[in-house]
């Protein structure tokens, strides 16, 4: 059948691997330091990989190609996950869950006594596994990565008791809504807090989270908290 599918210009490809990470179907792999389309039937033709490519090496073409096979993609991704678990996978993406004591509310403490309230690893939206066990029954914090530097009490005031996912739509140059939709739809999420900065580019994070909530078809309590660049809470909306 003739359909839209990606094409990768090997001369333009710099081997950064960003497209392989952005492809949720596992259609792209790194071969001899270059990105390659591994199988036509793994490519859904939606092009999540296009904006991830810094050199413009990926384009759409119309050509004869096998139909997208969702079942084959699921089996391939399951096999990849099993292999990563068996061999440890990338240390930066290795899933971990932490048991944290609840912090005393606004109690003074010395730097040596402060305890991180990060409940899991990885915390980047792009790296978090969709079906990670720590999402079951979780209160979800979706935060701009700058928020941790702007707001001094982020661990005690926002992260404590929550699963934290961070991202920057401007730097990642990706729409997080699909990944967040999968996380919310496939897990028992109890609530969602969106922690963003006042800058316009953070609107992409808020929009992606709201879109994910709508697409999930679930009624989940949520709120948006906006921080100023000098670390003040400007607004809270539900």
Rounded percentage of the chain residues whose pLDDT exceeds 90: 54
- Phi then psi for residue 39, to 5 deg, are -150, 135
pTM of the model: 0.61
Number of Cβ within a 10 Å radius of residue 188: 11
Q: pLDDT class for 31, splitting at 50, 70, 90?
A: confident
Same fold, 2-85 and 93-103+114-237: no
Tell me how far the alpha carbon of residue 78 is from its chain's centroid: 18
Task: Answer yes or no: CATH 3.40.50 is held by domain 93-103+114-237.
Answer: yes
Q: Assess contact for 110 and 190: CB atoms under 8 A.
A: no
Q: Which whole number is the average pLDDT over 213-227?
A: 94
Q: What is the pLDDT of residues 61-118, one digit of tens each?
A: 999 999 999 999 888 888 777 665 554 555 566 678 887 776 665 544 445 567 899 9
Q: Between 189 and 79, whose confidence is greater?
A: 189
Residue 55 has pLDDT above 50, yes or no: yes
**C-alpha–C-alpha distance, residues 136 and 147, integer Å:** 25
Pick the CATH number of 2-85 from 3.90.1170.40, 3.90.400.10, 3.30.70.20, 3.90.420.10: 3.30.70.20
Spans of all domains in the chain: 2-85, 93-103+114-237
pLDDT at position 30 is 85
- Nearest CA-CA partner of 57 in 17, 9, 91: 9
pLDDT at position 131 is 80
């Amino acid at each position: 059948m003739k359909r839209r599918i990606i094409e990768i210009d090997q001369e333009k490809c710099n081997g950064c691997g960003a497209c392989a990470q952005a492809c949720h179907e596992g259609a792209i792999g790194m071969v001899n330091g270059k990105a390659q389309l591994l199988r036509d039937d793994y490519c859904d033709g939606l092009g999540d990989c296009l904006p991830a490519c810094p050199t413009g090496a990926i384009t759409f073409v119309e050509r004869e190609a096998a139909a997208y096979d969702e079942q084959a993609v699921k089996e391939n991704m399951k096999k990849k996950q099993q292999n990563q678990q068996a061999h440890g996978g990338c240390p930066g993406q290795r899933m971990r869950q932490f048991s944290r004591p609840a912090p005393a509310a606004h109690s003074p403490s010395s730097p040596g006594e402060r305890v991180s309230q990060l409940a899991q690893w990885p915390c980047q939206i792009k790296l978090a596994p969709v079906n990670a066990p720590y999402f079951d029954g979780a209160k979800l914090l979706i935060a701009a990565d700058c928020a941790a530097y702007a707001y001094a009490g982020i661990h005690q005031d926002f992260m404590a008791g929550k699963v934290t996912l961070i991202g920057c739509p401007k730097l990642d140059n990706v729409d997080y809504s699909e990944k967040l939709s999968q996380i919310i739809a496939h897990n028992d999420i109890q609530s969602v807090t969106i922690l963003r900065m006042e800058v316009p580019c953070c609107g992409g994070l808020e929009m992606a989270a709201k879109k994910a909530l709508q697409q999930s078809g679930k009624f989940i309590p949520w709120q948006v908290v906006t921080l100023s660049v000098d670390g003040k809470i400007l607004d809270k909306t539900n």
